[in-house]
Structure 1
């Protein structure tokens, strides 16, 4: 059986992060002998004055492959732990989904994608969870975290959203590594050239410099790389990846020979930009 578990808004400015608590809940499940959890993904949600959040408004999700008949136990275990572990002043939300291959989850996915660009409500979240038989519960404060918890499950389900919790530099230092070496880490299941979408061979070397992170792409954690000025493959850092995630909603890459910036997903490489004497203007009127 496959389950999705996501939590949101469990922390305050002085406490451990929501990702740490998600890791601890996964450990409780595994320690109980219920199965095996995946790496944890961080999903960036909408930043807006009407949305309260601690630092970045992101939720933390993991998949769990487990035995049957543990759904209620998973809910109880996570609920009890959130009550004990969540920080004062937080608004924790918990979402656990028991995945059914014959069920359609498009409504959940649509809600989750909206959560990246719109202000949503608890009423909407509860209604969708109820209609699809998904567990969604509040565990303190305003319970506002249920919105991000539900959205995190839907975003993880798409297979193309979220960065893997933690950085490779936490485990290995800067330097040159072969793809074969990188694939030994659970945070990396493939290494892909971002510009060409080609998978690198096992013997290809990659430079890690700074906080290199993997992201979910086609349902697997992928380390994206690019060719630097020296012609070497270099892994994208955390800062690079988050800028890529902030691409304008009308961005469309220009033809390759017109690219002028190393990071492809940039206004500088968009077909809607028109150069002026000092910079450029946007034909769509989008201000960046």
Structure 2
């Protein structure tokens, strides 16, 4: 099996299926089938990457791209065909979908790709710039409706994911079927990792918690991609580890 990084952007409109949900569906179509009770494959976690919000950039609500990694036996032509078919089927009529596909075993300049992603968080980029860089790096970049403006975000999303320090994991985590958002649960880090499929608990200051540390979790439990790991972001409040607040998650 080969590993691929795939990113889509600008597939939705107000009141339609979100880009993150569409990305999850594509990932499921591409990934090998696993037993229902198996732990989630960490590579298939979809990460949301926030891009520049500016009057010159059209977007639905937040201008974010959705990226995921998948290991599959499908070849490139099959992967692209599956992605395109699903985008055409599920994208909103008013959307401007873009698709970026990167063979992670290819010889590409990761520094250039990361730089483009970081620049796209603070400045306006053009389709021409995106196509030029994709051609230089061997990234397959394609547009599938409307203006095709989504190619910019989809290429940027690849770079941001590869940086290992950007992205919020789509959705929220649950700790078993009886998880209640209003209650406080206090698992050890090891228990939390086992139940969620995450790789680490990392503090807002960058500290990786030991597996025997206890954390207090309440409300919506969100994960991020940081230090090249899918992690629960936590902060220390009065000597107690707690899941990060919305404000603390904002940089991701």
Query: Is the radius of gyration larger for structure 1 or structure 2?
Result: 1
Summarize deviations over 1:194-216 as a string: whole Å, max 9, x none.
Answer: 23x33222222111122221111
Matched residue pairs, number?
Answer: 239
Residue 217 of structure 1: how far off its partner (Å): 1.3
Structure 1 residue 176: deviation in Å? 1.6
Q: For 1:268-287, what aligned pairs fall within 5 Å after superposition?
A: none
Residue in 2 aligned with 1:268? none
Which whole-Å deviations, capped at 9, do the CAs of 1:147-183 have from their partners, x for residues lacking one?
Answer: 0000001111111110111112586434222111110
- Mapped to 1, the partners of 2:52 and 2:175 lie a distance apart of 27
CA RMSD of aligned residues (A): 2.0
Give me the whole-angstrom Cα distance separating, in 2, the residues matched to 1:96 and 1:61: 10
Q: Which one has more relative contact order, counting CA pairs under 8 Å at least 6 apart?
A: 2
What is the TM-score when the length of structure 2 is the normalising length? 0.88
Match of 1:221 in 2: 230
Q: How high is the TM-score relative to the length of structure 1?
A: 0.78
| Residue of structure 2 in register with 1:27 after alignment | 28
Match of 1:190 in 2: 200
State how far apart, in whole Å, the 2-side matches of 1:84 and 1:166 are: 22
Contact in 1 for aligned 2:120/2:156 (Cα 8 Å): yes
Tell me which moved more, 70-79 or 161-170. 161-170
Q: Is the 1:39–1:186 contact (alpha carbons within 8 Å) kept by the matching residues of 2?
A: no
> How far apart, CA to CA, are the structure 1 residues paired with 2:142 and 2:225?
26
Q: Is the 8 A contact 1:94 1:137 kept in 2?
A: yes
Match of 1:109 in 2: 114
Match of 1:234 among 242, 247, 251: 242
Within the alignment, does 1:66 sit opposite 2:72 as a pair?
A: yes
Distance in 1 between residues matched to 2:218 and 2:80, nearest whole Å: 40
How do residues 240-251 of structure 1 correspond to structure 2 at under 5 angstroms?
A: 240-242=248-250, 244-245=251-252
The superposition leaves residues 104-126 of structure 1 with CA deviations (integer Å, 9 ceiling, x where unpaired) of 22222111110000000000001
Question: Which residue in 2 is equivalent to 1:176?
Answer: 186
2:149 pairs with 1:144: yes
SS, match of residue 204 in structure 1: coil
The answer to whether the 8 Å contact 2:17/2:90 transfers is: no
Unaligned runs of 5+ in 2: 35-40
Structure 1 residues 157, 53: closer, same or farther in 2, change over 3 A? Answer: same
Structure 2 CA distance for partners of 1:162 and 1:63, relative to 1, 3 Å: same
